[in-house]
Amino acid sequence: MKKLPLSFRLETVPASPIRKLVPFAQKAKADGVKVYHLNIGDPDIKTPDVMLKALTSWDRNPISYSLSQGEPSFITALKTYYHRLGFGFIEDRHIQVTNGGSEAVSMAIFAVANPGDEIIVFEPFYANYNSYGAVNNVTLVPVSTKLTDGFHLPEQKTIEDAITRKTKALLICSPNNPTGTVYTKKEMDMLVSIAKKFGLFLLSDEVYREFSYDGKKQISLFSYMQEIPYQAVVLDSLSKRYSLCGARLGCLISLNEDIMGGALRMAQGRLSSGLVDQVMASKLTEVPVSYTKAVQKEYQMRRDVLFHELSTIHGIELPSKPEGAFYAIVGLPVADAEDFCKFLLTTFRDNNETVMLAPASGFYGTKGRGRNEVRIAYVLNTDALRRSVEILGKALEEYPKK
């Protein structure tokens, strides 16, 4: 029985730090343990009714392919959404529907970088970027941001020092996953000026656009898109905005027609995104503004509760309160946060309950960084959050000091 070697690059695709502990969680649940999930940004907020009605009133048969660019009604809905945000220059041809934000990021990386090229990211960064780098054979070059700076960007020179002849793009995310940081106008101006100065693409993952708090507003790359039409690419997703994580819908937006042409050809290769999901999501224009406002208010409250509760735990290292998204990176008084997360799932129980967190090291590109940190997704209601932090505190006390 001959065992053949697989491709060496298969090994380079990392396990998701958000999901790799799932088997331990499944085991705990099978044993009757209640697990509070703070490991994944899978909100408990309801999907808008008007979207679910598109399912319950479904009358198309058969379930046919959609167009590769996207279902026309869905593209129109997306365009309307961007126009309402104030970006009236976006036309149908600037929008490519994708299977979640994931595919949008991956397509953008493929489009701008060849195998061996480099893309600059700011660590900690969304861990799945590592996968998109690996499947596209592109190197992600991390520039560090720090907990003590609220994970805001370093000075321009530090970023420019990371640029080499192989650098093709900067990939940013604001409001940020996993830090919650929202880049200021000054930071966005700086990124655009670097892109101009060095001739780089600027890829902006904006799936948390509406999730900013304390009255602050996200500064979108759309605001700069007409200034750098060939360089700007926005990557978007409906997953968080409408609690549609399971619908796998996002889009790639650019004024650069060569990028859009390439994205469409890639999209043709996989035929289309899901028809049912797109028909459901095309109701987004009918979602009332009050829905988004209520979601925003709810998350701001959750963030406040989470930070208040965490601040009572001895030894926890907290950044300044994140301005957006629904994540926070916090330092724990442990040497190896991944080991602690496993301990939570396999060993620790409080009244037969425990908590699942995402070890943060997978969100860093620099080896060794973030080892004592976890990412907390505050996607549960405030009671569950309070209880989760209580469990976390007790677990830290019981966790064997090595």
Residues 251-310 that bind a second copy (CB under 8 A): 258-259, 262, 265-266, 268-277, 280
Q: Which is nearer to a second copy, 126 or 222 (CB)?
A: 126
Q: Which is nearer to a second copy, 243 or 372 (CB)?
A: 243
Q: Does 165 bind a second copy (CB under 8 A)?
A: no
Residues 78-117, mask of contacts with a second copy (x by CB under 8 A): ---------------------xx-xx--x---xxxxxx-x
Cα–Cα distance for residue pair 360/329, rounded to 1 Å: 7
Q: Which is nearer to a second copy, 132 or 208 (CB)?
A: 132
Pair type for strands 201-205 and 167-173:
parallel
Shortest spacing between CB 386 and a second copy, in angstroms: 22
Number of residues that bind a second copy (CB under 8 A): 88
Strand partners, 358: 375
The footprint of a second copy on residues 2-21 (CB under 8 A) is 2-4, 6-11, 13-16, 18-20
Backbone angles phi and psi of 373, in degrees to 5: -105, 155
Q: Does 229 bind a second copy (CB under 8 A)?
A: yes
In the list 33, 40, 194, 301, the residue contacting a second copy (rule: CB under 8 A) is 40
**How far from chain centre, in Å, is Cα 346?**
27
Q: Does 204 bind a second copy (CB under 8 A)?
A: no
Would you state the structure tokens that stand for residue 210, as one six-digit string?
């509406």
Q: Which is nearer to a second copy, 137 or 223 (CB)?
A: 137
Shortest spacing between CB 46 and a second copy, in angstroms: 5
The footprint of a second copy on residues 127-146 (CB under 8 A) is 128, 130-132, 134-135, 137
Strand partners, 212: 324
First to last CA, the chain: 44
Give the count of beta carbons closer than 10 Å to the beta carbon of residue 222.
20
Would you state the structure tokens that stand for residue 356, as one six-digit string?
């699942």
Q: Which is nearer to a second copy, 196 or 349 (CB)?
A: 196
In the list 29, 83, 185, 199, the residue contacting a second copy (rule: CB under 8 A) is 199
Provide the residue type at 137 as one letter.
Answer: N
User: Near a second copy by CB under 8 A, which window of 179-187, 192-200, 216-224, 314-322?
Assistant: 192-200
Q: Which is nearer to a second copy, 26 or 366 (CB)?
A: 26
In the list 30, 31, 32, 62, the residue contacting a second copy (rule: CB under 8 A) is 62
Q: Does 46 bind a second copy (CB under 8 A)?
A: yes
Would you state the structure tokens that stand for residue 330, as one six-digit string?
């916090």
The full length of the chain comes to: 402
Q: Does 160 bind a second copy (CB under 8 A)?
A: no
Q: Does 148 bind a second copy (CB under 8 A)?
A: no
CA-nearest of 16, 395, 326 to 180 is: 326
Q: Which is nearer to a second copy, 9 or 146 (CB)?
A: 9
User: Near a second copy by CB under 8 A, which window of 178-186, 198-206, 321-329, 388-396?
Assistant: 198-206
Burial pattern 255-287, b for ≥16 Cβ within 10 A else e, equals bbeebbebbbebbeeeebbbbebbbbbbbbeeb
In the list 30, 31, 57, 155, the residue contacting a second copy (rule: CB under 8 A) is 57
Q: Does 248 bind a second copy (CB under 8 A)?
A: yes
Q: Which residues contact 235 (CB under 8 A, 6 or more apart)?
A: 101, 104, 105, 108, 203, 204, 205, 206, 207, 250, 251, 252, 253
Q: Does 197 bind a second copy (CB under 8 A)?
A: no
Cα–Cα distance for residue pair 336/353, rounded to 1 Å: 22
Cα–Cα distance for residue pair 18/327, rounded to 1 Å: 12
Would you state the structure tokens that stand for residue 153, as one six-digit string?
């960007």
